Amino acid sequence: MEQTLKSYYTIHKGGIGEIVMKKSRFIATVSPANTEEEALTFIDGLKKKYWDASHNCYAYIIGTKNPTMRCSDDGEPSQTAGKPMLDVLIAKELTNLVLVVTRYFGGTLLGTGGLVKAYQSATIEGLDKSIIIKKEPGIHIRVISDYNLVGKIQYFIGQENLPLISSEYTDVVTLDLLVPLYKVDSFNNNLADISNGTLSPIEIKRAYFADINGKVHLF
């Protein structure tokens, strides 16, 4: 994991939102997708589920560097469905997700402006029903200390608001915590100061993490 990696927003759990406009139903279904293959499989599944719908329009973004972005109007007038949906995802700075908006035609034409509004509104509704998280690059670090220093270390961890994964108290104290990538150097320096150079943090693994409902999750 390189220092240049940055945090990003994505979907932890997808949701389904629905709006009705002039008797047409627009059902937005959102899902995480880490590869383009996952996104396409999800889209195919929704097309089979809603086989009797008028349209199954989609948009997805995959990747954090030079992301892959695709969208489809699925028979709606050009630029009235897929692109407006994709624009919402871009505006919310989301990636690694796929969205399908299914339309059941209600008998009244909406016009190009009405279609854009409907598909964007459905997209927002679907995202509102999903769990959006911020994934941050960090390092799972282990610190093994005697009891004389543990109070200072725990105070420092609390002051820095570093997520604690686990703690074990035996003849020594073992603390596993997550340090955001941008804090690693300062963490190492502070730990050296606290321990007068006697403690060396152990790097367990590098991973993305996110705070979900107050609990830290590793990815």
More confident residue, 143 or 207: 143
Q: Is residue 2 a part of any domain in this protein?
A: no
Q: Is residue 110 a part of any domain in this protein?
A: yes
Which helix H or strand E contains 74, and what residues bound it? none
Q: What local confidence, expressed as pLDDT, does residue 207 receive?
A: 87
Q: What does the mean pLDDT of the chain come to?
A: 94
Q: What local confidence, expressed as pLDDT, does residue 214 receive?
A: 78
Mean pLDDT in residue range 68-96: 97
Does 48 share its domain with 145?
no
Does 95 share its domain with 13?
yes
Does 25 share its domain with 92?
yes
Does 91 share its domain with 190?
no
Distance, CA of 219 to CA of 16 (rounded, Å): 24
Distance, CA of 129 to CA of 43 (rounded, Å): 18
Looking at 82, 99, 129, which one is the last position of a domain?
Answer: 129
Q: Is residue 3 a part of any domain in this protein?
A: no
CATH number for the domain spanning 72: value is 3.30.230.30
Does 174 share its domain with 104?
no
Confidence of residue 2 (pLDDT cuts 50, 70, 90): very low
Does 105 share its domain with 145?
no
pLDDT in tens, 137-187: 999 999 999 999 999 999 999 999 898 889 999 999 999 999 998 899 999
The contacts of residue 148 (CB under 8 Å, 6+ apart) are none
Q: What local confidence, expressed as pLDDT, does residue 1 receive?
A: 41
Confidence of residue 3 (pLDDT cuts 50, 70, 90): very low
Give the CB-side neighbour count of residue 164, counting CA atoms within 13 A.
Answer: 15
* Cα distances (Å, whole numbers) of residue 163 to 38, 102, 132, 150, 214: 31, 40, 19, 16, 10
pLDDT in tens, 54-77: 999 999 999 998 999 999 999 999
Does 107 share its domain with 190?
no
Give the chain's domain count. 2
Distance, CA of 74 to CA of 56 (rounded, Å): 6
Does 141 share its domain with 124?
no
Q: What local confidence, expressed as pLDDT, does residue 4 receive?
A: 60
Looking at 129, 153, 171, which one is the last position of a domain?
Answer: 129
For residue 134, give both structure tokens. 């911020």
Does 59 share its domain with 77?
yes
Q: Is residue 96 a part of any domain in this protein?
A: yes
Looking at 129, 152, 186, which one is the last position of a domain?
Answer: 129
- Which has the closest alpha carbon to 57: 110, 98, 117? 98
Q: What local confidence, expressed as pLDDT, does residue 156 receive?
A: 94
Q: Is residue 101 a part of any domain in this protein?
A: yes
Query: Is residue 28 scored above 80 in pLDDT?
Result: yes
Place of tokens 């004389």: 148
Does 55 share its domain with 117?
yes
Distance, CA of 132 to CA of 153 (rounded, Å): 32
One-letter amino acid of 88: V
Distance, CA of 6 to CA of 17 (rounded, Å): 30
Alpha helices in 140-204 (DSSP H): 147-160, 184-195
Give the domain extent around 30.
Answer: 8-129
